[in-house]
Amino acid sequence: MRRSPAALVYYIILLILSVGYVAYRISVISPDQSKPHVRAIAGVLDLREQDLREQVVPLRGEFEFYWSELLEPADFAAGSPPMTGYMEVPGLWNGYKVNGKKLSGMGYATFRLLILVPETGYYQVNIRELDTAYRLWINNSETGSGKVGTVPEEMKPDWTRQELAFFSRSDTLEMILQISNFHHRKGGPEEPIYFGKADVIKRRKVVSALSETFVLGFLLLTVVFHLGLYFFRMKDRADLYFSLLALVISVRVMLTGEKIFLDLFPFFPWVCTLRMEYMTIFLPPALILLFFHSTFPQYARKWAEYAVLAVAGIFLLSLFLLPPYIYTYIPLLSQAFILAVFLYIIWFLLKPLRTRQTYIYLLFAGAIFFGLIGVNELLYYNNWLHTGYLLPIGLLAFIFSTSYGLSGKFTYALDEAEELRNEMERYSNELEHIVRIRTQVTEEQKNQLEKQTGVLKTALNKQKKLLEFKEMMSSILVHDMKNPLGAIISLEEHSPPAHILLAKQSGYQMLNLLQNLMETQKFEEADFSLRITENKLNEQVEKAFEQVAYLARIKKIELINEVPEELPVYGDRYMLERILTNLVMNAVKFTPKGGKISVSASPENGMVKVRVKDTGVGIDPEFQQKVFEKYTQMSDTSSIKSTGLGLAFCRQAVEAHGGTIGVESEPGCGSTFWFTLPARKPRS
């Protein structure tokens, strides 16, 4: 069987990482689970003879047990509350007898343990799974998960892993643990609480998290790899089912052990987390069966497939229809389901084994090993075995064997495809010459069409832009020329001197409008040049006042020139007059009757800063950044309309001189438009 070098390298790396992870897990993480540890007797755990510098001790043994009591350190300091008895921890209070009656998982209780340590110093406890909410005190330090309560409405379940670090000034530690449960069939400290030096606990926490993160990354790599294979050949669904299986197991790895999922999503509801964890129990058997049926479809039994999917569907449906304290019994029923699927798969694989192909032996061995690990998980889940959480190890072995087996099947298919490809190449070579000639002719015709299409698109875009510009300018000119034309038509209502002034003022307005249109377009097309000369700013302000004087007189607006007479500024005289005229005219438009407009200037950092201040309506802060854009109206609700080109022209003209322009305004308090121009003649 031929394999590509890339696939061979992939599987060698996969094998090395798998073996390395198993050895690492056994040598670093697992020792504490296999070592014999001292046990608590009558509520006292004596660790004075233990070396805690390199080991972590699980708190096991007889804890003081106070049923239906939520006691705090102050309650024990005040006296000795009546004790229900001693309870073996880790363990569940399910079946514990109180007054001759066995307890269920529902209820609440307090546990107490005295720990004798060899020396003072920093210690830490690592709390794992306590069903289903707790508060814990060690001396004066406190932590917890969820919210304990005496009734279901008061409590909030949570399984987030917690650590509590503290400094002990005494060799005797008092640990008080409150636990309440009204949502799960199991109640009590199901898993041990680990105790040790703070640095040792933290180091082992990091090691455990990194190992699970390694497995998770490994699984996600498998998901991507086999999902990619499926997309290359969607007719064969074996890779799809295998990638989904790896994805489901990835979720299970995140929801068990160190519960990485809750670290990433601490806001996720406990009920949803529990449902997701239970889904990872029901789905893998169905996905494994679908995977093997797709791998060997000639041996598949549809009745088995339908039966497994129906049972898994019923289990999944119950998760969403039943409350947690009922569907937490489902894993007990699912154990028989998992065992039945496992036995069926072993029976099913006996048939393809007869073909004596190497990759089928690998698939069979991986299925056997993974099945045995699954049985271990069930026994560990029911506290019948204490071998530890071995699912990642079985999963790595299953992934390696299955991936390698799938590659063998895929390689056989590639060999057949390669033979067909060689035949096709022979036929292809004979037709290649004819196709090349016809392709050249077609390519030439296509290039000609593309060129013609490009020319037509360019012409169409130009025509469209011209039409849009024409329509926009027409509407603006019609609107903005109404006022000056109306003023000229009404000349007969004024005295002869007023005729002249009104006609002159109206002419200035129409001229200003047309100049703004033309000069703005020139700036955008870079079709302009500046004639820089020295100018007396005071005189330019007076010229600007002349162009708006009549309109200011009608509105009784006072125009004030506060610019020093001898203050020079360098720039294009025509442009400077146009900038001042636009700013002053803009101020007159938006200043109510009886207002004031002042123009001032002062040197500032080698520039001359000019300010046009009015007592008008002001500008909203969110609108101030837009006033210098083309066709922007000063206010959506104002009755005063304009082209929106005046301020846009001012910005372009000021920036062309190397200056800046801006506005300072508050609604109802007027506005101050400012700009800067060089105080000295530029070098070029």
Can you give the CATH number for the domain in which 67 is found?
A: 2.60.120.260
pLDDT at position 137: 96
Q: What is the CATH number for 249? A: 1.20.1070
Q: Is position 433 within any domain?
A: no
* pLDDT (average), residues 26-31: 46
What are the pLDDT digits (tens) for 392-444? Answer: 667 777 777 777 776 766 676 677 778 888 888 888 788 887 878 888 888 88
Task: Answer whether 0.85 is exceeded by the pTM.
Answer: no
Return the sign of the alpha-carbon dihedral for residues 618, 622, 624, 626. negative
The answer to whether position 452 is within a domain reads: no
% of the chain surpassing 90 pLDDT: 30
Q: Is residue 560 situated within a structural domain?
A: yes
Q: Do 171 and 283 have their domain in common?
A: no
CA-only gyration radius of the chain, Å: 43
Residues 311, 325: Cα–Cα separation, whole Å: 20
Tell me which long-range contacts 18-25 makes (C-beta under 8 A, separation of at least 24).
Answer: 18/396, 18/397, 18/399, 18/400, 21/211, 21/214, 21/215, 21/218, 21/392, 21/393, 21/396, 22/393, 22/396, 24/211, 25/211, 25/392, 25/393
The reply to whether 407 and 545 lie within a common domain is no
Beta bridge partners of 164: 125
319-to-368, 542, 650, 681 alpha-carbon distances in Å: 29, 84, 69, 82
Question: What value does the mean pLDDT of the chain take?
Answer: 81
d(CA 523, CA 520): 5
CB of 628 closer than 8 Å to CB of 647: yes
State the CATH number of the domain containing residue 603.
Answer: 3.30.565.10
Residue 37 lies in a domain: no
Question: 308 and 237 in one domain?
Answer: yes
Over residues 304-310, the mean pLDDT reads: 93
Same domain, 187 and 288: no
Residues 560 and 631 in one domain: yes
Question: Is there a domain that residue 278 lies in?
Answer: yes
Instruction: Give whichever of 148-157, 415-424, 528-537 has the largest mean pLDDT.
Output: 148-157
- Tell me what pLDDT residue 29 has: 47
Going by pLDDT thresholds of 50, 70 and 90, the confidence category of residue 76 is very high
Same domain membership, residue 343 and residue 236: yes
Query: How far apart are alpha carbons 17 and 169 in whole angstroms?
Result: 45
Structure confidence by residue, pLDDT tens digits, 228-263: 888 887 887 888 998 998 899 889 888 887 788 888
Is 19 a member of any domain?
A: no
Q: What is the largest CA-CA distance in the chain?
A: 119
376 and 229 together in one domain: yes
Query: For residue 31, what pLDDT band results from cuts at 50, 70 and 90?
Result: very low
**Cα gap 576→572, rounded to integer Å:** 6
Number of C-beta neighbours around residue 133 at 10 A: 25
Query: Which range of residues forms the domain containing residue 353?
Result: 208-414
pLDDT at 494: 53
Is residue 215 domain-shared with residue 363, that is, in the same domain? yes
Same structural domain, 240 and 199: no
Q: What mean pLDDT comes out for the span 522-547?
A: 78
Residue 41 pLDDT: 96
In this predicted structure, the answer to whether residue 2 has a pLDDT above a threshold of 80 is no
What are the tens digits of pLDDT across the range 511-521?
555 555 555 55
Residue finishing a domain among 414, 449, 465: 414
10 inside domain? no
Do residues 111 and 187 share a domain?
Answer: yes
Q: How many CB atoms neighbour CB 357 within 10 A?
A: 16
Domain boundary among 159, 190, 206: 206
Give the β-pairing of 671-678 and 661-665. antiparallel
Is 448 strand, coil or helix?
helix
For residues 217 and 156, membership in a common domain is answered with no
Domain boundary among 187, 206, 225: 206
255 and 314 share one domain = yes
Inside any domain, residue 460:
no
635 SS3 class: coil
Q: Are residues 264 and 276 in contact, defined by beta-carbon separation less than 8 angstroms?
A: no
Domains contained in the chain, number:
3
